[in-house]
Structure 1
Amino acid sequence: GTCDSCVIFFPGLCVGQSDIPVNGPPPKPSLSAWPSSVLPTQSSVTMRCRSPAPSEYFIFKKEGFVLDSAKPNDLTEKMAEFHIAELQQNHGGHYTCESFSKWPNGTGTQPSDALLLLVTGYLSKPSLQAYHRGTVPAGSQVILQCQKAGSVLGPVRFALLKEGRSAPVQIRSATGRVLDFSLLNVTARDSGRYSCVYYQAKAPYRASIPSNPLEVSVTGKVLMIIFSLSEPPDTMREGYTVGNLIRFGVAAVTVLIMGGFLLEAWHSQRLSPNRPW
């Protein structure tokens, strides 16, 4: 309709019509994954497409190809959900969504920003370590180093994950086996359990098993970094194994040498003509 009988607040908009643009397509929707966009194989994920305006229906796409469509499922008609069960390697990739509004002529939005879904468990587990041990002042920089295991064909990327966050904290490309993630000006918000994965930068986006967790704890002005006590990183576990083998070997050699001395002493005493009865 027109704005003849209403008070105009902005050019082209009137009271009760603030969601209706006069020219151009409506703002694009957003796409998020729950519980996370990085999940293990055989798990399930829910993709949530949110539109800034009431919509008639939503379209869900992967790499530009339509997978599904759905009606909005909330009272505001601004959100729809798409479910993927029993995730497999071929589910990895970039997803987008679009919404078709209730505005005249069923105007369609631009695609949402792409969301990368990673299905883990197809490459060897990396290790995650920190340059700092013990405590460092809050507000400083903390560097977490992720090191991949084995060789992977083609370029790879590393993702830093935090428990409770639905999207990676950081994603970075790398040419070598090791990549450093920097946490700047750390505060209590940075507390939590971190892990990392690496994955192929191209389809089928094969992703590794997540590293063992690293716990970062910030209380007041003190930050403490400790490895999860339940399961140390592979590199540390391998170090313990090698160290134990060396210690066992030294102990065995020592026992043999002492046994040899005792046997020789006993034999000499037995052959001595002056030994007491």
Structure 2
Amino acid sequence: MIPKLLPFLCFNSLAGLCVGQGDIRGNGSLPKPSLGAWPSSVAPAGGNVTLRCWTPARGVHFALRKGGAALELPQSPGSPEGPGEFHLADLQIRNAGEYTCEYYRQASPDTRSQPSDVLLLLVTGHLPKPSLSIYRQGKVTAGEKVTLQCQMPGHFVVPMMFALLKAGTSSPLQLRAPTGKETDFSLGSVTAGDTGKYSCVYYQTRAPFWASDPSDQLQISVMVSPGTMSSDYTTGNLLRLGLAALTVVIMAAFLFEAWYSQKASTSGSSLSGPHWKPGAGALEQHGCWDPDYSEQCGRDTARSGAKAPPCLPGN
């Protein structure tokens, strides 16, 4: 039973994480990888960023592209089971842009995967910083809606976009087009997980992708009312609690079955043995156990003048 469930769990729960080396789509192409930036895809000039290209396939080689052009960047040596990592040090404005990655097998370098989704790397510090404000000051109660406004210091002719950042996250939370000099970001039905430091930047949507310095950080604290379920109780946590409860029920059922079987076995052995013929005192208390002994019991009680006890049917 368990071996039959493994493929189902692998497909549904892990979303393809169990794919092996033979994972090739019906049209012969390899599935596209994912590309991420650490510590963040919005980094200051002079900083360092690591681009990580990941795929469930094993034993492959990775290639990085910027604006469609292949980059001659050495891939960090590591485990063949891990992602491909490309390090960008001392970032400059020339490093800003749109990146993708792909992978191939050494035995067939001409057969490459589909490119990953585009990752926009922004190098900040080339435009004046904006300001970030919140419509409601102070602490926020869980479940409320929070609106943040990011405003640039002047007007720009070239197309611009705003990005909302949160300390500790590797990519912008939201992207918004401006309305005049500003834009609003909304955090709906906030939870304790939304507590943190926020900032915003604005940037050009075309090359050379100039980006502003980040705004001053804005601290948001979300209070969870007593008796309110915390955001930590996610769907995954509830599923784990359900599985734990199911395990307890199954164990209780096994224990009850073992207890009942033992009791039935003990009762069966006492009833299936030879008939026990009690003495006179026991007969007066419990009656007779079989027809032959019942008759003798009746005669004995008649001679003694005592009231005959009820006789039980024999086995």
- The answer to whether the superposition gives a TM-score over 0.5 is yes
Q: For residues 197 and 155 of structure 2, what CA distance do their matches in structure 1 show?
A: 27
Is 119-128 or 171-180 further displaced after alignment?
171-180
Q: For residues 45 and 20 of structure 2, what CA distance do their matches in structure 1 show?
A: 46
How far residue 219 of structure 1 moved from its aligned partner, in angstroms, is: 3.2
Residues 36-57 of structure 1: CA deviation (Å, up to 9, x unaligned): 1001111111111111201431
Q: Share of identical aligned residues, percent?
A: 48
Structure 2 match to 1:213 = 217
How far residue 17 of structure 1 moved from its aligned partner, in angstroms, is: 5.7
Which structure 2 residues correspond to residues 183-194 of structure 1 after superposition, within 5 A?
A: 183-194=187-198
Q: For residues 22 and 38 of structure 1, what CA distance do their matches in structure 2 show?
A: 34
How far residue 131 of structure 1 moved from its aligned partner, in angstroms, is: 0.6
Say if 2:38 is the partner of 1:34: yes
Q: For residues 91 and 109 of structure 2, what CA distance do their matches in structure 1 show?
A: 37
Structure 2 match to 1:271 = none
- Matched to 2:26, the amino acid is N
Structure 2 match to 1:243 = none
SS at match of 2:94: helix
Q: For residues 178 and 57 of structure 2, what CA distance do their matches in structure 1 show?
A: 40
* Counterpart among 50, 62, 71 of residue 58 in structure 1: 62
Cα distance change of structure 1 residues 31 and 127 upon mapping to structure 2, 3 Å threshold:
same
How far residue 18 of structure 1 moved from its aligned partner, in angstroms, is: 7.3
Say if 2:127 is the partner of 1:123: yes
SS at match of 2:193: helix
Cα distance change of structure 1 residues 16 and 179 upon mapping to structure 2, 3 Å threshold:
closer
* Counterpart among 87, 94, 97 of residue 101 in structure 2: 97
Residues 139-179 of structure 1: CA deviation (Å, up to 9, x unaligned): 11100000001232311000000000010011111241010
How far residue 86 of structure 1 moved from its aligned partner, in angstroms, is: 1.2
Cα distance change of structure 1 residues 17 and 195 upon mapping to structure 2, 3 Å threshold:
closer
Cα distance change of structure 1 residues 137 and 49 upon mapping to structure 2, 3 Å threshold:
same
Is 181-190 or 99-108 further displaced after alignment?
99-108
Whether contact under 8 Å (2:130, 2:212) holds in the other structure is yes
Residues 2-41 of structure 1: CA deviation (Å, up to 9, x unaligned): xxxxxxx79xxxx996743363312111111111100111
- Name the structure where strand makes up a greater proportion of residues: 1
Whether contact under 8 Å (2:60, 2:80) holds in the other structure is no
Q: For residues 151 and 46 of structure 1, what CA distance do their matches in structure 2 show?
A: 33
Cα distance change of structure 1 residues 130 and 71 upon mapping to structure 2, 3 Å threshold:
closer
- Matched to 1:20, the amino acid is D
- Name the structure where helix makes up a greater proportion of residues: 2
Q: TM-score, normalised by structure 2?
A: 0.61
Residues 212-233 of structure 1: CA deviation (Å, up to 9, x unaligned): 00001123239xxxxxxxxxxx
Whether contact under 8 Å (1:44, 1:85) holds in the other structure is yes
Residues 55-77 of structure 1: CA deviation (Å, up to 9, x unaligned): 43111000100013555744343
5+ unaligned residues in a row in structure 1: which ranges? 1-8, 223-277
Say if 2:203 is the partner of 1:199: yes
Q: TM-score, normalised by structure 1?
A: 0.69
Structure 2 match to 1:21 = 24
- Matched to 1:212, the amino acid is D
Cα distance change of structure 1 residues 130 and 58 upon mapping to structure 2, 3 Å threshold:
same
How far residue 83 of structure 1 moved from its aligned partner, in angstroms, is: 1.1
* Counterpart among 141, 164, 169 of residue 165 in structure 1: 169
Q: For residues 22 and 183 of structure 2, what CA distance do their matches in structure 1 show?
A: 45
Q: Which has the higher contact order (CA 8 A, sep 6+)?
A: 1
How far residue 103 of structure 1 moved from its aligned partner, in angstroms, is: 7.5
Structure 1 match to 2:92 = 88
Whether contact under 8 Å (1:55, 1:72) holds in the other structure is no
Larger Rg: 2
Q: CA RMSD in A?
A: 2.4
Residues 187-237 of structure 1: CA deviation (Å, up to 9, x unaligned): 011010000000111111110010000001123239xxxxxxxxxxxxxxx
- Matched to 2:104, the amino acid is F
SS at match of 1:153: coil
Q: For residues 112 and 133 of structure 2, what CA distance do their matches in structure 1 show?
A: 47
Cα distance change of structure 1 residues 208 and 69 upon mapping to structure 2, 3 Å threshold:
closer
